Structure 1
Amino acid sequence: MASPLSSSTVVSHRLFFLHPSPLNRKFLFVKPKLPFHRTNSGDFRMRLHSTSSKIGTKEHIHSCNSSIDSKLNPFEDGSKNLEKLVATILIFVQVWSPLPLLGLDAAYISPAEAVLYSPDTKVPRTGELALRRAIPANPSMKIIQASLEDISYLLRIPQRKPYGTMESNVKKALKVAIDDKDKILASIPADLKDKGSELYATLIDGKGGLQALITSIKKQDPDKVSLGLAASLDTVADLELLQASGLSFLLPQQYLNYPRLAGRGTVEITIEKGDGSTFSAAAGGDQRKSATIQIVIDGYSAPLTAGNFAKLVTSGAYDGAKLNTVNQAVITEDGSGKVESVSVPLEVMPSGQFEPLYRTPLSVQDGELPVLPLSVYGAVAMAHSETSDEYSSPYQFFFYLYDKRNSGLGGLSFDEGQFSVFGYTTAGKDILGQIKTGDIIKSAKLIEGQDRLILPAQNNYNINSST
């Protein structure tokens, strides 16, 4: 653990959570110790500043020499000015397209380190999108999903939108859906076949289906296209969830004695003000003394973390828990002694992989990105254990209040890949910003997914429990 520091040392772009104890204010968890080759945000700015200073000094000296030499040889002065221009162009090219330039790599950010700051980095920007991409479904459905999701990017193009490209994307999705109908329906369990067939028909020719989406695109109405696209993607997600009846990978043997969630679950959390005030009205509603938040927890990508959280919720561990607002997050108080709980190993599913990594944070600078990113407003994750960053807290979770102003140029949190993200706030996101220190979780309930929660034998569970 880091030595206790004052809260004034917490910079805005770092995620430092303070222990709520009034007698001993210390950091609950800190930024994991990174290997020497990784570049944190402070180093990044320092390197740019240092590089700029060196270049500026060289240019200043060079400029003085040029002014003297130019009186003797104007052609040499022109040559040196040309060299300066070429150097400036190389700097511009290296910053915006970081390619290895011979002899210049040491002065610039390497391509691997530039991933964090690249504006082209593609990660889900909403919880709904991240959850949809995390479903381990039939490959044909994933092709349909990707074709439709590309339209979301096309809709952001201002002024003249590429409706022809959008129509081609939908037609591609429609062709895959029709050609691979048997494969799609065969991936659905027998007891869910009827529901699957109904959803499939809706996707093809329903009110919010692909045929209707093509019609909206031909009318070139961006609002109708957006609504139709959302409806089609919702149907795609519903079909994929039917196909994903459990985990698509086997858990390591040593982790089979932990609670786990084999699929999705929904948790409803009711929060009330600790000082007697009210939550602001939403869209003309009344002032409320309490507010409800819903989060979807994802066992497909984080089965141990989501399972342990679901187990704590069902045991009433968070009922009456106080909340604390800290840097870019809302975190529960340390109440691990309230119920029996376990410290789950850090669990992160890398994008493009089929199973999570355990006790190993991701290196975003090296191009590793998680399936469930932290860089989404309302992401839900476990705090780190007080004793090791390789384990999550046995009790404390937090809502991450992502702010792109405190992130890298690529829009990624500086703590991306360092925490076990296991879900997202899907309803009540407007409430998160109104929570203050001292507010209380009145109740937390697992309203969906109870049948997917797998609890180990009691004797095995006790071996790894901590209080």
Structure 2
Amino acid sequence: MSPSMASSLSSSTVVTHRILSLHPSPLNRSLLFLKPKLPFSRTVPGDFRMRLHSTSRNCGAKELIPSCNSSIDLKLNPFEAGSKSLEKFVATILIFVQVWSPLPLLGLDSAEAVLYSPDTKVPRSGELALRRAIPANPNMKTIQASLEDISYLLRIPQRKPYGTMESNVKKALKVAIDDKDSILASIPADLKDKGSELYTSLVDGKGGLQALIKSIKNQDPDKVSIGLASSLDTVAELELLQAPGLSFLLPQQYLNYPRLAGRGTVEITIEKGDGSTFQAESGGDQRKSATIQVVIDGFSAPLTAGNFAKLVTSGAYDGAKLNTVNQAVITEDGSGKVESVSVPLEVMPSGQFEPLYRTPLSVQDGELPVLPLSVYGAVAMAHSENSDEYSSPYQFFIYLYDKRNSGLGGLSFDEGQFSVFGYTTAGRDILGQIKTGDIIKSAKLIEGQDRLILPTHNNSSN
């Protein structure tokens, strides 16, 4: 496929997605946001998605493919015009193949492959994303990677590669035993006893690596899955002990912002605004209010998580109304209720040691964030009304990721454009039941208060 055809394909595909999103199916209302215009309105130099979106405003939905570039054809000779028409025709056919077929399209360049490849490996759960975001000892990361590979192997239907799984666990066990001193040396002195307990549990415990090998030899996928989850939980606990604070220095100009030096947990209680009830996930009693828990990550987004934690402790969200749009739940604009600041856009690129500020990622160029938006229950700040280089000083949203509204790689079309700072880890079953008019009864920082750093003089709003 020629470069021009590949470009036409990728661009037209995104335009088709944008136009179709203007007329959502009543069966596909899964996005809940506070202000519909805020979360998805980035304009970035070089961002082909937004250039086409702007152009498409002058074209009706019915004439999307045929006429948007008709003015170009006037400047071409008959041969060039015919070639251009053929390219557009082929691109149109491929667009519909992409939309309606689960098969990947061939011929896309490496940059676009990240967005459109079905093999793009990004975390598909908040727990996995949060675990990968911990800046821990390299040996622990090696153990973690070996175990996480088993999660993919377990998804293989019918005959599972138990031999490969056993090799992965044995590799992790060897690293754990051979590098015990290095692993434990990375833990602060006051946490050594707890670290030793967790290490012993990881190697020889009931839900540890030795037990996991036995389950794999018995070829019991259910027990393997349970044992794997237990081992990975222990790995995450050890890594958190190794990373008590930030692993990088904040830029000097941002030291007067609130910041979270590590992890925190926020508990949010939501009430129905119309007097109805939340349905229990497993057929239990109906509830007038429901609670979710959000783990906020200061390792990758210290300023954004810190500002959010400060707002929570100030009672900024108590009584706030929620709005729902397409794929998100978003709070109302509470500006003026409490003192707040507009934090610079903050995104940690995968493989990097510190976040980028005021700079979105280019997924088309292969950049992926440590904390992806493309996870059901991801929590991020909306954009500032004044500048897309800053987050809103108040409004946050919970993203209700739906793979049907994403690229073939399973990535949101807005991946890398927002400051994601945490994930819903408990109560995800009620997210889809939240409706416009529902109210946050209370929001509390139940863990991480000691990691919240509040400068004496906060920066003024942008």
| TM-score (structure 1 length as normaliser) | 0.82
Q: Which residue of 2 aligns with 1:464?
A: 460
CA 1:356 to 1:14, structure 2 compared with 1: closer, same or farther past 3 Å?
farther
8 Å Cα contact 1:270-1:293 kept in structure 2: yes
Q: Which residue of 2 aligns with 1:246?
A: 245
Aligned-partner Cα distance in 1 for 2:256–2:47: 36
Q: CA deviation at 1:115?
A: 1.7
Q: Which residue of 2 aligns with 1:190?
A: 189
* Secondary structure of the structure 2 residue equivalent to 1:296: strand
CA 1:338 to 1:225, structure 2 compared with 1: closer, same or farther past 3 Å?
same
- Which one-letter code corresponds to 1:226 in the other structure? S
After TM superposition, list the pairs within 5 Å mapping 1:230-241 onto structure 2. Answer: 230-241=229-240
Q: CA deviation at 1:56?
A: 8.8
Q: CA deviation at 1:10?
A: 3.4
Aligned-partner Cα distance in 2 for 1:439–1:37: 35
* Secondary structure of the structure 2 residue equivalent to 1:398: strand
8 Å Cα contact 1:18-1:27 kept in structure 2: no
8 Å Cα contact 2:382-2:397 kept in structure 1: yes
Aligned-partner Cα distance in 2 for 1:37–1:465: 27
Q: Which residue of 1 aligns with 2:432?
A: 433
8 Å Cα contact 1:378-1:425 kept in structure 2: yes
CA 1:155 to 1:335, structure 2 compared with 1: closer, same or farther past 3 Å?
same
* Secondary structure of the structure 2 residue equivalent to 1:116: helix
8 Å Cα contact 1:305-1:422 kept in structure 2: yes
Aligned-partner Cα distance in 2 for 1:282–1:16: 19
Aligned-partner Cα distance in 2 for 1:36–1:28: 20
Q: CA deviation at 1:428?
A: 0.3
8 Å Cα contact 1:313-1:445 kept in structure 2: yes
Aligned-partner Cα distance in 1 for 2:216–2:189: 36
8 Å Cα contact 2:267-2:444 kept in structure 1: yes
Structure 2 unaligned blocks of 5 or more = 1-18, 57-63, 70-82, 91-103
After TM superposition, list the pairs within 5 Å mapping 1:288-367 onto structure 2. Answer: 288-367=287-366
After TM superposition, list the pairs within 5 Å mapping 1:449-460 onto structure 2. Answer: 449-457=448-456, 460=457
**Aligned-residue RMSD, C-alpha:** 2.7
Q: Which residue of 2 aligns with 1:370?
A: 369
- Which one-letter code corresponds to 2:162 in the other structure? Y
Q: CA deviation at 1:337?
A: 1.1
8 Å Cα contact 1:39-1:365 kept in structure 2: no
After TM superposition, list the pairs within 5 Å mapping 1:416-431 onto structure 2. Answer: 416-431=415-430
Question: 1:33 and 2:29 equivalent?
Answer: no
**Pairs aligned (count):** 405
Q: CA deviation at 1:30?
A: 3.9
| TM-score (structure 2 length as normaliser) | 0.83
| Structure number with larger C-alpha Rg | 1
8 Å Cα contact 2:31-2:400 kept in structure 1: no
- Which one-letter code corresponds to 2:288 in the other structure? K
Q: Which residue of 2 aligns with 1:10?
A: 22
Q: CA deviation at 1:318?
A: 0.3
1:343-402 deviation digits (Å, cap 9, x = unpaired): 000000000000000000000000000000000000000000001000000000000000
Q: CA deviation at 1:120?
A: 1.1
Q: Which residue of 1 aligns with 2:261?
A: 262
Aligned-partner Cα distance in 1 for 2:316–2:20: 32
CA 1:444 to 1:397, structure 2 compared with 1: closer, same or farther past 3 Å?
same
Q: CA deviation at 1:46?
A: 5.4
Q: CA deviation at 1:336?
A: 1.5
Q: CA deviation at 1:8?
A: 10
Structure 1 unaligned blocks of 5 or more = 1-6, 21-25, 59-94, 99-108
Aligned-partner Cα distance in 2 for 1:292–1:19: 19
8 Å Cα contact 2:33-2:331 kept in structure 1: no
Aligned-partner Cα distance in 1 for 2:30–2:274: 26
Structure with higher RCO (Cα < 8 A, 6+ apart): 2
8 Å Cα contact 2:381-2:391 kept in structure 1: yes
CA 1:346 to 1:11, structure 2 compared with 1: closer, same or farther past 3 Å?
farther
